[in-house]
Structure 1
């Protein structure tokens, strides 16, 4: 599984080189290989006899963090969706994105995003999951902002990252508390210790933090505002984000931790309450949109709310229906986004007000759209998979058990009515989308292009997805025992046996579906006559305006605070830094040891050391008063060479030689730059400034003295020096312990120090070259 997770990222390394051949072969063909290979690999696990698989790879054992991957029914479903839809999206992008686009960047971002999603759904370690979780935010930020020359693309990318990263940090807080409480970083072990978590005083805080991460990622109300702006990404990205990946990560997180949290009624209140509210608000607002992708974005919000609500119900039927709808939603929503992209690609617009009558000009696209939208609307036809899971949803709302919590009981009674209300608007926006685009009067004069059917290459991916809609609709139990049941069991914790069938008789869920269709059809037909209601609700209120206002106030307040101390005064900066160090360090030493310093084992001070220290002190003070640049440089050198003498006295020849070399080079550089050094002006500091300087200087000197004595006298644990003495020759093969420490024991530190110096050298070289070119241009 390790190779499968990182295969897309590995391929991403070679994409910049492969993209050089894009004039001969589209880069997407290379990218297609990774998700397709992963899909074929994981399909082999599908079957009635599937057993969970776990693989562990050591990473940071000292922190109990390893690349631990766990493949159960839930993660298998998501892996197949990510790789399967990913393959179709990659193939679709070959015909959607022209070769003149920056294909290398696009596909690198897409492959990183795939890797992040695979890591999220397969990780068993909470910190590894969090790492991949944040990588989804970063890579989606790059994908949404791919057309960075557009202001709306940059705005949507930033909004998505700010909201999802905020939720991710909250989720990390919950993970840290879970790790402390259970003593493990493994999710499966946390589930085994669910009783310990539920009985802990911090359970409410943990629940809130983890759900906050899930809600922001899956665009639940009121964090849904980032998803409509994410439509600024290229359509292949939108289809991928909305159907199988980014937003489904939040759904996955709730599903993964359901065995722990579902035993609390507050889980039902928050998850189902927010889910139903999201369903209603998303479907209601979708009808208001005029952009095809805008309608689909709010429809995704609505559908995710429905899935989230079912996970909150926590019953066997609800869990099974949620898993089933995750699969169904991926098929019809992925196809609809691709059709929206085709319409945009072939007409030059996504504005539904300019569209209409395209069914005769784009018959294949229209047919695909009809199947997708009718399935999304839950129309009771036996060849549409969306109806099955929608009817299960209605059945699950009725089946809810009684609650002891007053708020939960009220919600339980209201949910069936709210579900019908939200589903009515789901029907309305579905009909609005398909009939507004493909039927009615043609408006060819408003289109940028003469519409015609898309090339077959662009149609293959949505055709495959619509075939999935129909096949699952005709054979609803095709993937039941081999896939859906295993995923539902992973969430519920017990086997779930559910036979899916079209006809259950004249029961309440059927009546609910008929109410949705009848009232939805009436509202869809009369949409223009009642659309004025949006002037009242939401009216002038907008969560986007609240987000913009909050972000603007944060920036203004931050700038105001920053400007109070960032005034260009180096003296003020040093005062802030030094005072903070002095206060914090003194406070910490005082609270931990009460300044109880042991000086019994400190070496005696000899006359040589005193003389050198006095000379260094006099030289340091003299640099403040001298007004001659040469004298200042030479006096400063006295301090450095004096320190080298102290190293000689303390029998540290390596340090003494290093100090001599550094000090010699420093003095030489100062002398070489002598001409460019500023003149030393007469100081005009006030008495207050001079007093402040003296106090801070003395305090900092006293701090360094106390820290040195405290570090020497306080032994909280055995010194590591003994380890170096014992192992330096055995492990490093060198008799000089200091050299072995620098080269072997701290090899990575030394390596990164060299890397930093190398980067700095490259930066300096680049600036010199640019300056030379600039002068040459003049």
Structure 2
């Protein structure tokens, strides 16, 4: 449907008008105009919930590049609907929160333009069916997130965080693009739906596993999986609304979406299971361990986000086991891991978005996020404390909050997968289970840190920068809505299960659609099973570790906790910068003659080498016209002038010899009966000669160089070689005509275009657009020159007034 395609462009169109509106009202209330966009899009997407829950899907195609098979195709199914609702729903709350969070002194027009660009790009990612279109929007999310992270560009850390995220995510995106191209070369289509339908024929192709790895590289960099997770903590220098939107609900979920969308394509491979689940579990552990040692609340949430993303990623990996085995009643049980992943994806967006906003409130009201300076805030900020309690306990996996339900399903999926055949031994499955359980213990610990070290204990007013107050009612609305959802989902989980998760599961497992057990009934009580005992163990051990944390936290000062991927990243970046600077200094010497030597030597080696290697230097002079004596004498004089130019000692003589070349060409045009070209060449040569004389007049005196003779000899050799190659190339092309010359078409210019002058007709008719664009370029250059002159004039006038 066209309306689905238009929904992608609405944020982009709104972004165009935001600066105009902001210029008129110039206040933070511009947010009230912006918020209309995500709310309208959320309502629009929500209207499709009933039909998609009944199995409908919607597709619309705008034909684009027919020959390459690239079309703007949008596809709305259960999976893309979940992400679309998260993008627009959380986006609406983030904009509402930002209205009260950001000061009127901020560049709010610029902020909301960036936010809408990001929103449109994310919608493009999740709704695109064509791989090339998906890639364009994928990289646009990286660009817009770069602008949002660097919004406070006057801060060095903001610029560094934006650069770091850009380098890592864009590099992964380029790898993903290579994977997309490989998929197209195997299947002959860029359509995700077509590839899913036919991929079974190509799993034995040599490029299949390479494409799998490259696509995962793009997904892992975007969703901050180990070892690419290092960009996310530095990205927290962005304003809190940006962190709540990009780094909890949307951008980092793009990699999760990619894995979910490509599970039907690659999920049948054991390598997909090993890499996705293995990297996910390890990221879960690394994120939770690093979160505990943080003293900045936002940094703690950054590492907790990394940990939670690892949890979701590992579940998608485990869920692919069902595709590895093929459909059977026994294999459907493994799809519950994917069901848990989708469920936790939604839950994480609710409680993590609320927690980011809580941290923003604390920072906004007290001027600090340092845990060591906080404490006792519960009495002063009761509403903020309640939201923090709900969000943290949900993240810890405690009832009655939605995180408990999906965490239990996570444990159940690990228990079911413990004895999978794809694991070499049962020990491997048990090891994964133990690692995930340990990570969950530390998840419990850092969740307790947020609540108890921030809101309990003694308040020290001298440690904070501002008088303590509860946040304004407007700032509390958005996190309160998310907190209500956290509790509401716990009591009514199957509303989401039936209307959102079930159609999403059908999109991930199209061959299993309608199978019994594909979408289990969600309930809080499953009896005293293994998963519940694991949760009880997490609570008991987590409580003990938190209570005695001051005794064991010192282990973070020892290796391997001191080993830092950030250090390696910074060192490699510094090495690349120094290396490129050194390499640039080797050839950028500031002399034009050296740059010309580089160009012609490269030309001689590449073109000349190609001609010799391919043997394409055969000539055919049978149809050539005889060379007249006058033509021969003109060419001979041109060659003599060119050679003489190398050995003259006067600039005036060099200019005259250069003029001989130009005027000789004009004379050849006269002989070949091309008066217009001859006249043009004469005018251009006259102007060029005059400009040479004018410029050379201001140059310093021509001094004899030490190695002048050697330089002239080398220049002569290069010039002769380049000229020889051009001559050989021209003769080879002229003597080996594969197609009829296009000049035959232009010779009929009078009938086709009504022009008697073939050159003018080509410029004004056949190449009209090219000529027009050349004129536009000159016009733009003229405007630039005029602007610079005006600016200089104003500056001079200002300097006179100041004096």
Which range, TM-score by smaller chain? over 0.9
Residues 232-286 of structure 1 deviation map (CA, whole Å, 9 limit, x = unaligned): 0011110011222111111111111111111111111110000000000101100
Answering whether residue 295 of structure 2 is matched by residue 274 of structure 1, we say no
CA–CA separation in structure 2 for the residues paired with 1:467 and 1:725: 77
Contact 1:181 1:196 in 2 (8 A): no
Single out whichever of 561-570 and 717-726 deviates more from structure 2.
Answer: 717-726
CA contact (8 A) 2:616 2:732 kept: no
Deviation sequence 1:505-531 (CA, Å, 0-9, x none): 111111111111111111122222210
Matches within 5 A, 1:557-576: 557-576=579-598
- 1:27 corresponds to 2:30: yes
Shift of the alpha carbon at 1:413? 3.2
1:310-321 to 2 correspondence within 5 Å? 310-313=315-318, 314=320, 315-321=334-340
Cα distance change, pair 749–419 in 1 and its aligned pair in 2 (3 A)? farther
After superposition, the C-alpha distances for 1:104-132 in whole angstroms (9 at most, x for unaligned) are 22122111111211111111111111111
Counterpart CA distance in 2 for 1:619 and 1:680 is 20
| Aligned-partner Cα distance in 2 for 1:74–1:737 | 59
d(CA) in 1 for partners of 2:283, 2:745: 59
For the residues of structure 1 that align with 2:440 and 2:210, how far apart are their CA atoms? Answer: 33
1:625 to partner: Cα distance: 4.2
Alignment CA distance shift 1:10-1:438 (3 Å): same
1:477 aligns with 2:494: yes
The TM-score normalised by the length of structure 1 is 0.95
Kept in 2: contact 1:163–1:216 (CA 8 A):
yes
Distance 2:215 2:766 in 1: 39
| Residues 1:763 and 1:406: Cα distance change in structure 2 (over 3 Å) | same
Partner Cα distance (1:118, 1:414) in 2:
38
Partner of residue 408 from structure 2, selected from 376, 391, 395: 391
Question: Which residue number in structure 2 is paired with residue 452 of structure 1?
Answer: 469
Contact 1:357 / 1:439 at 8 angstroms: preserved in 2?
yes
Q: Measure, in 1, the Cα distance between the counterparts of 2:443 and 2:594.
A: 60
CA RMSD in angstroms, aligned pairs only: 2.4
Kindly state the Cα deviation for residue 177 of structure 1 after the two structures are TM-superposed. 1.1
Gap change, CA 1:592 and 1:32, over 3 Å in 2: farther
Equivalent residue number for residue 188 of structure 2: 183
Write out per-residue CA displacement over residues 60-92 of structure 1, whole angstroms, 9 at most, x where no aligned residue: 222221211111111111111111111111111
C-alpha distance 328-746 of structure 1, shift in aligned 2 (>3 A): farther
Of residues 659-668 and 235-244 in structure 1, the stretch that sits farther from structure 2 once superposed is 659-668
> How far is 1:717 from its partner?
5.3
Gaps of 5+ in 1: none
TM, length-normalised to structure 2: 0.92
2:346 matches 1:327: yes
Q: Secondary structure at the match of 1:58?
A: strand
- Larger deviation, residues 705-714 vs 208-217: 705-714
1:224 pairs, out of 217, 225, 229, with 229
SS of alignment partner, residue 13 of structure 2: helix
Q: Of 640, 654, 672, which residue of structure 2 is paired with 1:618?
A: 640
Q: In the alignment, is the contact (CA less than 8 A) between 1:269 and 1:411 conserved in 2? A: no
| Aligned match of 1:578 | 600
Where in structure 2 are there 5+ consecutive unaligned residues?
321-333
> Could you say which residue in structure 2 is the equivalent of 1:242?
247
Cα contact 1:375–1:387 (8 A) shared by 2 = yes
Q: How does 1:90-489 map to 2 (within 5 A)?
A: 90-313=95-318, 314=320, 315-379=334-398, 381-382=399-400, 384-400=401-417, 402-405=419-422, 411-489=428-506
On the 8 A contact 1:375/1:385 being kept in 2, the answer is: yes
Change (3 A) 1:351 1:332: same
CA distance in 1, matches of 2:751, 2:63: 27
1:242, 1:672 → 2: CA distance? 60
Supply the distance in 2 between the matched residues of 1:715 and 1:316 (Cα, whole angstroms): 62
Q: Could you tell me how far 1:687 is from its partner in structure 2?
A: 4.1
| Contact persistence 1:138–1:161 (CA under 8 A) | yes
The structure-2 alpha-carbon separation of the partners of 1:720 and 1:75, relative to structure 1 and needing over 3 Å to count, comes to farther
**Matching of residues 692-707 of structure 1 within 5 Å:** 692-707=714-729
State the match for 2:325 in structure 1. Answer: none
SS of the residue corresponding to residue 57 of structure 1 reads strand
1:707 CA drift (Å): 1.7
SS of residue paired to 1:56: strand
What pairs up with 1:601-640 in 2 under 5 angstroms?
601-640=623-662
Which has the higher mean CA deviation after the structures are superposed, 169-178 or 272-281?
Answer: 169-178
Cα pair distance change 1:682/1:446, threshold 3 Å: same
Distance 1:30 1:601 in 2: 73
* Among candidates 72, 88, 93, match of residue 67 of structure 1: 72
Q: Deviations over 1:664-692 (max 9, x none)?
A: 33234334546434444445434432331
Question: Who is 1:3 aligned against?
Answer: 6
Distance 2:288 2:166 in 1: 24
Structure 1: distance between partners of 2:387 and 2:750: 70
* Residues 637-656 of structure 1: pairs in structure 2 closer than 5 A: 637-656=659-678
Q: Give the aligned length.
A: 775
Question: 1:601 deviation in Å?
Answer: 3.4
Q: 1:446 to 1:534 in 2, by over 3 A?
A: same
- Whole-Å separation in 2 of the counterparts to 1:748 and 1:356: 69
Once residues 761 and 506 of structure 2 are traced to their aligned partners in structure 1, the CA distance between those partners, rounded to angstroms, is 55
Shift of residue 17, structure 1, vs aligned partner: 1.5
Supply the distance in 2 between the matched residues of 1:101 and 1:515 (Cα, whole angstroms): 48
